[in-house]
A and B are shown apart, each in its own frame.
Chain A
Amino acid sequence: MFADFPFLSILTLLPLVGAIVVALIPRQKSELAKTVALGWSLVVLVLSVVMWIAFKTGGDRFQFHESYAWIPSWDARFTFAADGIALVMLMLIAILFPVVILASWHDVEQSKRSAPAYFALLLVFEFTMIGVFAAADVFLFYVFFEVMLIPMYFIIGSFGGQRRQYAAVKFFLYSLVGGLFMLAAVIGLWVVGGNTFDFGKLTEIAGSIDQNTARWLFLGFFVAFAIKAPFFPFHTWLPDAGGAAPAGAAALLVGVMDKVGTFGILRYCLPLFPEASRWFAPAALVLGVIGIIYAALLAVGQNDLKRLVSYTSIAHFGFIGIGIFAFTSQAGTGSVLYMVNHGLATGLLFIVVGMFVARRGSNLISDFGGAGKLVPVLAGVFFFAGLASLALPGTAPFISEFLVLIGTFTVHPAYAVVATGGIILAAAYVLWMVQRTTQGTLNPALTEVPEMRKDITLREKVVVAPLILLIILLGFYPKPVTDVINPAVQATMQDVGVQDPGPTAVVANERVAR
C-alpha cells in the first residue's frame, strides 16, 4: 500500500526543514526549541517505522527507488533507493536521534551557547546522515559524505569539552583528506564509467573497468571509508573527537557517522570494484585484526572515559572490517548486524558515560571510584552497557560478533583466532572500567559533588530504556533484522563474485534463524 510513497526523499528532507524551524526559534525560548527538535525527530522515527513495514522482505534488492533530475550534463540525479543494509542503518538513525536529543537536554546549559543552534545542528546532522544512506547516486552520496562534516564540526567545536578546537579541526581535516581521495576516485569512476553517476548503471559496467584503474579507484574510495570508519592506522582522530564531543554527539559520531565508512565499503567498494576488492582483501583483513588488538590494548590503558569508549569502538570496527572482507554471507550479515548493534550498545555506553560526566564534571576515571554506592541504578545501567559492548551472550552484539567470527573462521581461521583474542581484551577493558568507576571503595571526593547524589532521573530512564530493550530483544530474536540484511548481503557477495564455502553457511543461517 505504501510502495509508491516517496519515503526516502521525504525522510531526508524532513530533518532539514526541522532544523530550519528550530534555528528560527529565538535563543531565549530554549525549552521550545528542544521540544520541537524532539518532536521532529519522533516524526522521522514514525515515518521510518512505516517505511520498515512497507519494505518487502525478499522483494527487490533496492526498494523505494526515486529519481529526480539534477545536473543532466553530468548525469547526476537525486536518486534514492534503499537495500536491506541501508534500511537497517536508516532505522538505527531514526532511533538514535530522538534518544540523543533527549539525552542532550541539559548539555547546552552548561556552556553559554545557544540551545536552538545546538538542536538545529543535530537535525542538520540527521538530514545529512539519512541522505548519505539513502542516496543511490554516487555524486549525491559524495555530496552528503562531505557535507555531514560541517554540522559535526560545529557541534564538536562550539559545544565540546576540553581541547574541542583541536579535536574539531583534526576531525575535519582527516575526513576532508579522505573525502578528497574519494573525490579523485569519483571523478575517475565517472570518466571510465561512461559519464554517469547512477549506481545501477555503474554496477553493470563494473566488470569492464581496466584492472589497474579499478584498483586505484578502489583505493581512493577505500581510504576515505577507512578514515571514516575508522580502521587502523587511520583512527587517530576518533579518540580526540569522541573525547571532546558532547556525549550525545559522540554517541552519534561513533554510532551512526562512522558506519558510513563500513556502509560505503559494502555499497560502493565491493560491487563497483569486485576484482580490486578481492585483491585488497588480505590487506584489509590484516588491518582489521591489528585494529581489534591494538585499539583494545589502548582502551585498557585509558584514564579518560570518553576516549576509552572511542577506542573500544575502533576495536569493534576491526570486527566489522574483517567480517566484510571475509566474503562469506554469515560474516557479511554479522558485520551489518554488528553495525546496528554497535550503534545501540556503544551509543548507550556513550550516553551513560555522558550522564556520569555531567554529574561529576570530569571525564577521568580516576575522579570516580565506588560511584555505584551513590548512584546504584545508573551504575547498573552503566554495567549493562559495558556488558553489551563486550558482547555478552544474551545481548545483541554477541550474535553479530559470533557470526563474524564463524563466518571468518570458515575461510581464514588464523585471523578469526587472533580476533577472538580481542574478545578477551574487551572483557578486560570493560570490566576494569566498570570496576574503577563504580565499584570498590567510595572516592571521598565524590561525596562532595552534590550532583553525584542524584540517581538516574525520569528523563534519563526514558533515554536508556529503548536502547536497553532493543539490545535485549535483538540479543534473543534478531530474525526481523537478519531477514532484511541477508538478501542484501548475499547480493553484495554475488557482486564480488564469491561463493560461500561448503555447508557451514546453512548451519549458521539456521542458527541465526533460531
Chain B
Amino acid sequence: MRKLLITVAILLAVHTAFLVFSPRGTEAVADPDATRVGIVLDVGGRGDKSFNDGAYAGADSAMKRLGADIRFIEPGEGADREAGLRLLAAEGMDLIMGIGFIFTDDLIVLSREYPNSNFAGVDFSVGTDEAGNVIPPPPNVAALKFREEEGSFLVGALAALVGNSKRVGFIGGMDIPLIHKFEAGYRAGVKHVCPDCTVVAQYAGVTPEAFANPGRGKELALSQYQSGVNVIFHASGATGGGLFEAARATGKLAIGVDADQAAEAPGRVLTSMIKGVNAAVYDAVARVDGKTFKGGVYSFGLAEGGVGYVYDDNNRALIPDAVHRRVEQIKADIIAGRIKVPSTR
C-alpha cells in the first residue's frame, strides 16, 4: 500500500511539473497574426497519394505562400473525427476544415455551437428537404463540392477507347451516393463512345473502412482483370492501392483518382481523374486570410478546372493522339453544355 502511494505521488509530481515546464518546441507559432487553420483529414490519411494528400498539398502551399499556420489531425476511429473538429474549434482557429463527406453532420453541429468561427467541408453533402429543395449549409460553412461525374465521364470515354475490350471496370470504396457520382459519370462516358460496352462496377464495402482495405481492392481488381476487363478506374481511397498492385501483377491498366497516381504503378496508369482538392483547400484558406470568406455552396467542375484528367509525359505513350483529340472534344462539349453528364446511377 505504501509503495502504491509513493508511486502515485511521484507520478502526480511529474504530471504537475509538466504543466509548468512545457518541453521546448511545442510553441511553434511564429507569427501571432498568421491565419490559423485546423484541418481534420479523412479515412486513408496522409500518404494515401490521393484525396488526403491533395488536401495536404493545398494546405502546404497556403502555409508557404500565405504564411498560414495550419494544424492537421488524422483521426483514427470514427468518434475521433468529431473530437478533432471540436478540439480545433475550441482553440479558436480562424478556419476549421473537414476533408471528406463524412464530416458533414459534425460540421453542421459545430458551426451552430461556434457561430463566430468559419468552417469548410470538402465534399460536404448538401441535403434536400422532402420537397426536394436544397437545404443550404449554415451561414458560416462553405461546402466545397466537386462535379466528379464530369471528370469521370472523360476517363470513362478514355477507358473504353483505349481498353480494347467490351468490358470496362470500376471499383468504388464505400457504397454511397458520393461514390455513385463517380460511377454514374464513368458509366455514361463509357457508353458515350461505346454503347455496347459493359461496365463492371464493384464496391469494397458499406462502411468507411472500405476506403482503407487494399487487400479487398486487390482481389476485386484481379477478378475484374481475369473476367476480361483491361482498364479499371477506382474511387476508393487507400483501397485503390490494391488496384495498382493488381495492375502491376497483370500488366493491365488502372486509372487513378483525386490526384495524379502515375507513380503507383509506373507505365500501368492510363490516367488519373484529378480532383482539385488542393485548389479548393488553398482557396478557402486564402479567402479567410483576405477576410472575404463566405458560407455557401461552391461547386468545382471541368469549367472551373476543379476536375480533369492527367495527360503528360508519363502516359502520353499509352494514349493515341486521335483518342486524346476525341476526349478533348468531349471535354469541350461538356463545358459548353452540349453533353449532359448524369450524377446519379
Answer yes or no: do A and B interact.
no
Q: Which residues of B contact A (CB under 8 A)?
A: none
Which chain A residues have a beta carbon within 8 Å of chain B's beta carbons? Answer: none
